[in-house]
């Protein structure tokens, strides 16, 4: 039996040891970040996720007091970049900004070198971006009804570009083919940046992509636009009808983006990142630039780890039966 004297000695030793541990942890959190932070974008430069990430990174850097560098690690539908972050040291200096692919990857891929669900800490949502259905300038259709007719008539003769299996443009393309009830030839790229380049050049026929990547090309007349994939028209493209208005009732697709840290990152660091993200999403210049690109930041409540985690889990559950019904997997 432990005597009272020994108990007091143990209690004193514990009390003395605790302050020795706590300052180290506190210092690590207080000093974060103590060097440049890298945000991995799992797609090519110039694409919609890249554009969103660079706008957010610029403002977050000012709040964090350290440079925030965006690095593009494209390929494999976004899984190569995501894997790099999942396997990175969980100290908050290597982060991920990804889109709806975080909701579809768990169902699209049956074998991955990382856990697409439990390999990350959610730090906050960023924005939800509408999609647009567009074509090269000389595509032989002038509205969505005519596009549907051409797709049904020409089928595999029509080329539909995407940013790779699992990318938002791929998912939108799958849903478009299902809605039209036909199958066309899909052409995967390492990002929607190069896909857009080939669409403008006339190498491919169609692309379903986010307004952050298409608004400028649409307004300049570089591409032909048929519809926006939301329930209401987009303020940046007021003359572009919704898919429902143009002949595909109920066809709605939007792409959300979120910020992630590797699993095991200290909660205090994740919360610090969330606060920096919230500051960025209140920045007037960022809000104005987002508006030009046809989107808006999420609310401050959605830019929190808890709200992001709930939204992410709900999206995984939403897409699983859709992908399983399509029977198209990435591996």
What does 23-78 look like in DSSP terms, one character per residue? HHHHHHHHT--SS-EEEEESS-TTSHHHHHHHHHHHHHHHHHTS-EEEEE---GGG
Residue ranges of the chain that CATH labels 3.40.190.150: 36-129+254-326
- The SS3 call for residue 125 is strand
pLDDT of res. 1: 39
In the predicted model, is pLDDT for residue 29 greater than 70?
no
Please state which of the ranges 12-16, 37-41, 270-274 shows the lowest mean pLDDT: 12-16
Q: Tokens representing 81?
A: 């970049």
Residue 76 pLDDT grade (very low, low, confident, very high; cuts 50, 70, 90): confident
Task: Give the up-direction half-sphere exposure of residue 77: CA atoms within 13 A in the CB hemisphere.
Answer: 23
Give the model confidence (pLDDT) of 102-112 as tens digits: 999 999 999 99
pLDDT of res. 4: 42
Please state the length of the chain.
331
In the predicted model, is pLDDT for residue 11 greater than 70?
no
Residue 28 pLDDT grade (very low, low, confident, very high; cuts 50, 70, 90): low
pLDDT of res. 16: 43
Main-chain phi, psi angles of 280, to 5 degrees = -60, -40
In the predicted model, is pLDDT for residue 12 greater than 60?
no
Mean per-residue pLDDT of the chain: 90
pLDDT of res. 73: 96
130-246: CATH class: alpha beta
Give the model confidence (pLDDT) of 179-222 as tens digits: 999 999 999 987 788 999 999 999 999 999 999 889 999 999 99
Residue ranges of the chain that CATH labels 3.40.190.10: 130-246
Architecture of the CATH domain 36-129+254-326:
3-Layer(aba) Sandwich (3.40)
In the predicted model, is pLDDT for residue 38 greater than 80?
yes
Q: Other CB atoms closer than 10 Å to residue 115's CB: what's the count?
A: 12
Q: What is the DSSP letter of 242?
A: B
pLDDT of res. 26: 53
Question: Which of 7-21, 29-43, 85-99 reaches the highest mean pLDDT?
Answer: 85-99
């Amino acid at each position: 039996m432990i005597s009272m004297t020994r108990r007091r000695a143990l209690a004193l030793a514990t009390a003395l040891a605790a302050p020795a541990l706590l300052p180290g942890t506190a210092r690590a959190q207080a000093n974060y970040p103590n060097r440049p932070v890298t945000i991995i974008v799992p797609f090519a430069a110039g694409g919609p996720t890249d554009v969103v990430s660079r706008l957010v990174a610029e403002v977050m850097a000012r709040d964090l007091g350290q440079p925030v560098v965006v690095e593009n690690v494209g390929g494999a539908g976004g899984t190569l970049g995501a894997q790099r972050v999942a396997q990175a040291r969980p100290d908050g200096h290597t982060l991920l900004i990804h889109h709806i692919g975080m909701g579809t990857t768990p169902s699209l891929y049956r074998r991955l070198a990382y856990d697409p669900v439990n390999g990350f800490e959610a730090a906050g949502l960023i924005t939800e971006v509408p999609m647009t259905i567009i074509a090269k300038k000389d595509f032989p259709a002038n509205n969505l009804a005519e596009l549907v007719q051409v797709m049904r008539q020409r089928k595999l003769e029509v080329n539909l570009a995407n940013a790779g299996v699992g990318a938002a443009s791929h998912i939108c393309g799958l849903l478009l083919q299902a809605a039209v009830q036909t199958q066309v030839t899909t052409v995967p790229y390492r990002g929607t940046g190069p896909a857009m380049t080939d669409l403008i050049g006339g190498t491919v026929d169609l692309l379903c992509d986010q307004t952050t990547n298409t608004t400028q090309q649409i307004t300049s007349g570089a591409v032909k636009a048929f519809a926006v994939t939301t329930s209401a028209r987009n303020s940046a493209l007021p003359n572009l009808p919704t898919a429902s208005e143009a002949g595909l009732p109920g066809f709605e697709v939007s792409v959300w983006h979120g910020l992630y840290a590797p699993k095991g990152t200290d909660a205090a660091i994740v919360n610090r990142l969330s606060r920096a993200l919230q500051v960025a999403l209140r920045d007037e210049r960022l809000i104005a630039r987002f508006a030009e690109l046809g989107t808006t930041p999420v609310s401050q409540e959605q830019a929190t780890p808890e709200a992001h985690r709930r939204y992410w889990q709900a999206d995984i559950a939403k897409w699983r039966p859709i992908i399983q019904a399509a029977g198209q997997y990435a591996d």
